[in-house]
Amino acid sequence: MQTSLHIMALVSALNEEAVGGRILSAEFYKKERAVYFFIKGDKKRQALGFRYHPAGSGVFLVPASKIRMETREKPRPLFGLDDAVIVKVEQLGFDRIFTLTLEQSGVTSMLLCEALGPNGNIWHLDESLGRLASLRKKSFTRGTRYEPPPPPDRIDPRALSVESLRARFAEAPETALARFVEKNLQGFSRTLALETVTRADCVDLTTESCDDAAYERLVTQIKEIVSRFARPLGGFLYDAPRAVEVFPFRLKTSSETPTKFKTLSLATLAMCEVKRTVRNEADDEKKVTDAVARQVKKLERRLKSVEKDLSQAVDFERYKKYAELLQINFGRLRTGLKEITVDDVYFDPPQPTTIDLEEALSPQQNAEAYFKKFRKGRDGEKLLKRRLEITRDEMAAMNEIQAALEADFESASRRYEQELAALAPGVTAGRGEQTVRLPYREYRLSTGLKLLVGRQGADNDRTTFDHARPYELWFHTQQCPGSHVVIKFPNKSFVPSKAEIEEAAAVAAFHSKARHDSLVPVIYTERRHVRKPRKAKPGLVTVQREKSLMVAPRPPSK
């Protein structure tokens, strides 16, 4: 965080290096939330940078060559100040606000910079402080006078004396000195306050226990720190886990080795970049953990749905019994009957049972209809049980990933890179960039197994070698161009059924040049037996230990 002390240091640098310089251009990057005023001085080009991005805000004066924009966004011109000459730079009071007085074609105007972090703004004012334009969209009437915010009720450390400090102490009895300095001295953050009392050897003192010698030491150190900011000889970046800060000197209160820069502004620029990186990493971590949490909830809903379907499955054995009873009483049946009551010989003694019939069907067709319902119910129950098994396995695997991420995100994200890439493909895409495109289309087999179908040449390679585990099954049509198809296993010990293999092979046949043939030969093997020859064309691989089967092409389930 920049305080009014940092702004004082910046104003000092601007007066030394920018006054008399000419503004070459003012570039506004809206998406990046950044403005750069490029200034041509006597010897070099400088850039006055103003960033108000929530992840990394700050104001700095650095060589123009240090500004490297990675965004594709085209800058917008700001305020029309090209060729304006900087006449004077002043800090407003001892706040985080400073002004640049400009001369352009005989007209005097002013840039007023509110260096308030993410809430900062830049105003273009006329000579009498009338508002002409604003960087951020703030409603105002053109020409109305700019009124600065009221000054904070704090001591200006530049005018501090023992007497003024003693008088302020009386208003805060029994307060730790570090806390007092932070809350009562303008420009002193918590880190600077602790550094001040440490240098003054007053760490354990309060406003009540402070003696005359302690007063003197404290005032001396406050003035010393102010003087170091007034004419900084360099900058030190402290990249602590909880706070990224810059100072014009080394901290005695930190055991961390700081990164040293030639100027305080260069350290500030680096601070903005570090904060953005840390924020982006934190955002990426949250995106991944949120994606995993959503997948866990999705699997929980699927599990409940399959369990419900299974519990409500029709008693298909009843249909088999009805069909057999109809065959036993075949002589009593005729077309046109709506129902028939027969003796259920499966009870001892037999009990009367009424069986519904279709009027339009013959006796044989009615019996066959019940056999068909029996077979459908039997197969449906098997399918639901398989779906339940697969869903439970996927649930266990996802719970394992979630627990690993909570324990050690960095190592878990490397271990489960393939799974996380599928769940959160856009994590690596920055602001303004296109969302990451997965190289495959994802489908589900009838049992719920996930199926990856490569899109085209290079995508096939990525699908096979970047998104398939060595133990998972890989499919491709034999001697025919087509997509690489992979069955994703819920765990390493999973064994796909013959029906699942045939269904995946049918999808591979459909996504090939032979999709219109009645039967297509398809090979399959474990992904570990698929190799990519050197300098081979995209999608071309060699296969070992493959098996083959003939299948009719069939599109995947939606």
- Do residue 348 and residue 453 come from a single domain? no
Question: Does one domain contain both 349 and 455?
Answer: no
Q: List the single range of 2-16, 50-64, 371-385 with lowest mean pLDDT.
A: 371-385
pLDDT at 278 exceeding the cut of 60? yes
**Residue 508: inside a domain:** yes
Q: What are phi and psi of 261, to 5 degrees?
A: -125, 160
Distances (CA, A) of 261 to 56, 229, 267: 18, 15, 6
Same domain, 478 and 531: yes
Nearest CA among 418, 420, 425 for reference residue 409: 420
Query: Does residue 115 share a domain with residue 14?
Result: yes
Average confidence score pLDDT of the chain: 90
Instruction: Give the pLDDT band (50/70/90) at residue 429.
Output: very low
CATH of residue 59's domain is 2.30.310.10
**Would you say residue 284 has pLDDT above 50?**
yes
Domain stops at, among 394, 414, 429: 394
SS3 state of residue 53: strand
pLDDT for residue 439 is more than 60: yes
Residues 124 and 12 in one domain: yes
Q: Kindly state the average pLDDT of the residues 131-150.
A: 88
Percentage of the chain exceeding pLDDT 90: 64
Task: Give backbone dihedrals phi and psi of 176, rounded to 5 degrees, phi first.
Answer: -60, 140
Higher pLDDT, 312 or 213: 213
Residue 363 makes CB contacts below 8 A (sequence gap 6+) with 326, 330, 333, 334, 335
- Determine the pLDDT at residue 549: 96
In a domain, 245, yes or no: no
Regarding whether 451 and 371 lie in a shared domain, the answer is no
184 found inside a domain: no
Residue 124 pLDDT exceeds 70? yes
Closest CA to 274 of 9, 61, 51, 98: 51
pLDDT, residue 441, reads 93
The reply to whether 273 falls in a domain is: no
Which percentage of the chain shows pLDDT scores above 70?
97
**What is the mean predicted confidence (pLDDT) over 270-275?**
89
- Among residues 95, 119, 134, which one ends one of the domains? 134
Per-residue HEC secondary structure of 330-353 comes to: HHHCCCCCCEEEEEECCCCCCEEE
Under the banding of pLDDT at 50, 70 and 90, the label for residue 314 is low
What's the confidence (pLDDT) of residue 312? 65
pLDDT value, residue 113 = 95
- The better pLDDT of the pair 267, 308 is held by 267
13 and 128 in a single domain? The answer is yes
Compute the average pLDDT of residues 355-360. Answer: 92
Predicted confidence at residue 431, as pLDDT, reads: 38
73 and 128 housed in the same domain: yes
Please check whether residues 456 and 516 belong to one and the same domain: yes
* Predicted local distance difference test score (pLDDT) of residue 435: 47
Of the three residues 96, 111, 134, the one that is the final residue of a domain is 134
Confidence of residue 432 (pLDDT cuts 50, 70, 90): very low
Q: Do 389 and 442 share a domain, yes or no?
A: no
* Residue 154 vs residue 310, higher pLDDT: 154
| Owning domain of residue 10 | 4-134
- Asked if the structure places residue 407 within a domain, the reply is no
Count how many domains the chain has: 3
With contact defined as beta carbons under 8 Å apart, do 463 and 452 qualify? Answer: yes
pLDDT value, residue 537: 92
Q: What is the DSSP letter of 465?
A: H
Does residue 515 lie within any of the structural domains? yes
Q: Categorize the per-residue pLDDT at 382 as very low, low, confident or very high, splitting at 50, 70 and 90.
A: confident
- Is residue 352's pLDDT more than 80? yes
Flag whether 148 is in a domain: no
pLDDT in tens, 458-503: 999 999 999 999 999 999 999 899 999 999 999 999 999 999 999 9
Residue 323 in any domain: the answer is yes
Are 361 and 448 found together in one domain? no
- Mean pLDDT, range 448-457, rounded to an integer: 92
| Mean pLDDT along residues 504-526 | 96
Shared-domain flag, residues 349 and 459: no
